[in-house]
Amino acid sequence: MRAPLRHALPAAFAGALLTTLTAGTVLLQGPGPAQAAEAGKKAPAPQAVPDSSEALPLPPEPPRLASGAEYEACLALLRTDPEAAMTRAGEWEERGGGDGARHCLALALLAMGNPEGAAGRLERLAASSDAGAAARASVFAQAAQAWMMAGAPERAYGASTLALTLRPDDPSFLVDRAVAAAALGRYAETLQDLDQAVARDGSRPDTWVFRAAALRHLDRTDEAMHDIEHALSLQPHHAEALLERGILRQLKGDAAGARADWQETIRVAPDSAAADLAQQNLALNEAGPRRR
């Protein structure tokens, strides 16, 4: 579950790492794992982690565990009619469809808003499939991201670790596990995985944003700011990077700079979870002086 879920993961990470302001001060400790998971389940915006009752994003090209016209037709149907895809996959599985049928069925569950059911199926499928290591690792990663959507970061961490067992140098899988570790409040482990991910592929701004947030939670704010500036050099209007830079600027006493970054976050991604957090920060920061 690669590209589209990569848009979803920053919001999950935001729930674990990007803190808000209250009474004009910065909360130096983010929400706990349960709060982070709950925030991930409730986020309504397109770039947020979807509510489990809503249709969920699907990969543009799911990893192939099988081949053939029936498999391709079932995967294609996921985008237009996931309920029909689930029915088709179930009937195909009864006829001996094997891994292909089970994979399509799991993705149909995900698309229909049942990430927990999808995650368990995907994890079992990746463990039992006779497909190659790359395909199985990608399905473990799909399971990990579905577990995050289901609000189960501990299960996501385990599935990501299994993906890395098969493909230890894949930066996407390292980021997935870092996101899960962050949701569990294990920021030192988060940083270790993100250090490796950056070393393997330094071209992805999301990875730099994630590492900056982890560094901030470890009170290494100067290094965090360096990472955020690098992320913005790669993508100047990256919403989560702007949100995080605003938090770092507020920590350093630059209230005007923080406000400008949060306003820009809302401007560039008005329907995102990052914009929601930026709006909260602006409102709470504005209300703070009046309360004192």
How many Cα atoms occupy the beta-carbon half-sphere of 237 within 13 Å? 6
Domains of the chain in start order, with CATH, are 3-51+170-291 (1.25.40.10)
Instruction: List, in order, residues 6 or more apart from 135 with CB less than 8 Å away.
Output: 63, 64, 65, 129
- Name the token pair of 181: 């570790």
Q: What is the pLDDT of residue 74?
A: 92
For the four alpha carbons of 186, 35, 27 and 255, in that order, the dihedral sign comes to positive
* 102 vs 38, more confident: 102
| pLDDT beyond 60 at 145 | yes
For 161-218, write each residue's pLDDT tens digit.
Answer: 999 999 999 999 999 999 999 999 999 999 999 999 999 999 999 999 999 999 999 9
Sign of CA dihedral 232, 236, 241, 247: positive
- Of 165 and 290, which is predicted with more confidence? 165
Q: What is the pLDDT of residues 62-75, one digit of tens each?
A: 567 887 899 899 99
Q: How many residues are present in the chain?
A: 292
Q: What span, in angstroms and rounded, lies between the C-alpha atoms of 213 and 206?
A: 11
Find how far residue 61's CA is from the centre of its chain. 18
Shortest CA distance to 273 belongs to which of 27, 13, 55, 59?
13
Identify the residue with better confidence: 139 or 4. Answer: 139
